[in-house]
């Protein structure tokens, strides 16, 4: 991918290697199977496909509206932000730019967000049903506008507003001026230190834990519906680890977003957490092992229990058990306000 200076002051960004979103989709369809069974390679490929898409979108908007009126960063959230996507993934993204909302021209960046949204949909990334996309004013602000948005979420203090804040913490810059995003995330960490009760409220927001194993150590798959006999790996497997490590990352001011990196970055303070890395890796491998059976976004989240080998069953049970333990310990720590691991 070549580069061009369409930022103010000559800041370089990629030029698109493809002439259309359909061409990117074709390349993605042809390459997907090459990376399906390796989570790291698959997420590197997702980044490349999305970067190609956004580069084309930026070029399109630039041709129509002129160069971007300010430095900005385009970032990913959700599983994309954590680099933990499966074979299929929907959209979760935002934009942060320099200057004031009107001064820098929020309209320009919302238009860019809309072009990215439509381009990604063509490439095969469904639009987010919750509208967590840069085309929505909630997820497209100047740096100061973002700080104001964060303050509003905290002051509103509802389940929905705090869930927005938790979603934002998984933001990872894909291209642009990463310092803009870092400044906003650092502001969140500052608020948490200034308001100790905030971490407790964030912890309470994710208090519900799906049960994946019963008291007898048996896996609990769906009993009815299109995925009867399958277990929702995202809810019962991944989420306990993701939620726990996100809370610890907020508490310690860790900018990195992947769950495994958060474990490493907090290992000195929370050695108990990094010990769970082995089980989280097993979940990633298990999902990848069934990639050939995944044909839709929903398929990615389910694993048929009857298709698991004895070893895979044991690994899944252990991962669910250890994830629950990590989740419960972390919540207890977050809600107690103590400064050491319980």
Q: Residue range 100-122: average pLDDT?
A: 90
Task: Write the pLDDT tens digit of every residue in 300-331.
Answer: 788 899 999 999 999 999 999 999 999 999 99
Closest by Cα among 281, 286, 277 to 313:
286
pLDDT computed for residue 168 by the predictor: 98
pLDDT higher at 249 or 337: 249
The hierarchical CATH code for the domain 3-194 is: 3.30.460
Contact of 73 with 178, CB cutoff 8 Å: yes
Closest by Cα among 213, 326, 230 to 277:
326
pTM of the model: 0.92
pLDDT computed for residue 50 by the predictor: 96
Strands 140-142 and 93-97: parallel
pLDDT surpasses 80 at 11: no
Task: Determine the Cα–Cα distance for residues 24 and 68; give it in Å rounded to an integer.
Answer: 24
Task: Write the pLDDT tens digit of every residue in 250-259.
Answer: 999 999 999 9
Confidence class for position 136, pLDDT limits 50, 70, 90: very high
pLDDT computed for residue 1 by the predictor: 47
Confidence class for position 6, pLDDT limits 50, 70, 90: very low
Task: Determine the Cα–Cα distance for residues 20 and 161; give it in Å rounded to an integer.
Answer: 37
pLDDT computed for residue 208 by the predictor: 76
Q: Residue range 79-93: average pLDDT?
A: 94
> Can you give the residue ranges of every domain in the chain?
3-194, 203-336
Q: Residue range 35-45: average pLDDT?
A: 92
pLDDT surpasses 60 at 2: no
pLDDT computed for residue 180 by the predictor: 96
pLDDT surpasses 90 at 85: yes
Give me 330's structure tokens: 């972390």
pLDDT computed for residue 222 by the predictor: 85
Q: How far apart are the first and last CA of the chain?
A: 49
Confidence class for position 202, pLDDT limits 50, 70, 90: very high
Q: What is the number of other CB atoms lying within 10 angstroms of the CB of residue 115?
A: 23
Task: Write the pLDDT tens digit of every residue in 268-299.
Answer: 999 999 999 999 999 999 999 888 777 777 77
Helix (H) or strand (E) run with residue 147 in it: helix 143-156
pLDDT surpasses 80 at 338: no
């Amino acid at each position: 991918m070549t580069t061009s200076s369409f930022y103010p002051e000559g800041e370089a960004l990629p030029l698109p290697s493809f002439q259309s979103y359909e061409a990117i989709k074709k390349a993605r369809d042809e390459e997907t199977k090459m990376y399906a069974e390796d989570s790291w390679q698959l997420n590197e490929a997702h980044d490349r496909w999305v970067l190609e898409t956004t580069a084309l979108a930026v070029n399109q908007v630039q041709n129509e509206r002129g160069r971007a009126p300010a430095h900005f960063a385009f970032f990913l959230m959700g599983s994309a932000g954590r680099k933990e996507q499966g074979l299929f993934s929907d959209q979760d993204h935002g934009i942060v730019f320099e200057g004031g909302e009107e001064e820098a021209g929020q309209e320009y960046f919302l238009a860019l967000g809309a072009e990215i949204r439509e381009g990604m949909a063509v490439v095969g990334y469904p639009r987010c049903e919750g509208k967590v996309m840069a085309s929505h004013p909630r997820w497209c602000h100047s740096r100061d506008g973002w700080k104001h948005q964060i303050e509003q979420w905290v002051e509103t203090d509802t389940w929905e507003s705090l869930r927005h804040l938790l979603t934002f913490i998984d933001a990872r810059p894909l291209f642009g001026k990463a310092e803009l995003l870092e400044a906003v995330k650092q502001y969140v960490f500052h608020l948490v230190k200034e308001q100790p009760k905030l971490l407790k409220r964030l912890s309470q927001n994710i208090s519900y834990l799906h049960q994946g194993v019963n008291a007898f150590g048996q896996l609990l798959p769906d009993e009815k519906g299109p995925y009867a006999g399958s277990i929702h790996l995202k809810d019962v497997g991944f989420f306990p680890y993701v939620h726990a490590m996100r809370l610890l990352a907020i508490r310690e001011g860790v900018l990195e977003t992947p769950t495994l990196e958060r474990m490493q970055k907090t290992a000195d303070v929370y050695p108990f957490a990094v010990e769970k890395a082995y089980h989280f890796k097993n979940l990633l491998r298990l999902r990848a092992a069934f990639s050939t059976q995944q044909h839709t976004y929903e398929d990615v989240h389910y694993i048929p229990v009857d298709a698991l080998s004895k070893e895979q069953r044991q690994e899944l049970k252990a991962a669910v058990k250890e994830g629950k333990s990590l989740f419960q310990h972390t919540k207890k720590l977050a809600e107690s306000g103590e400064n050491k691991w319980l």
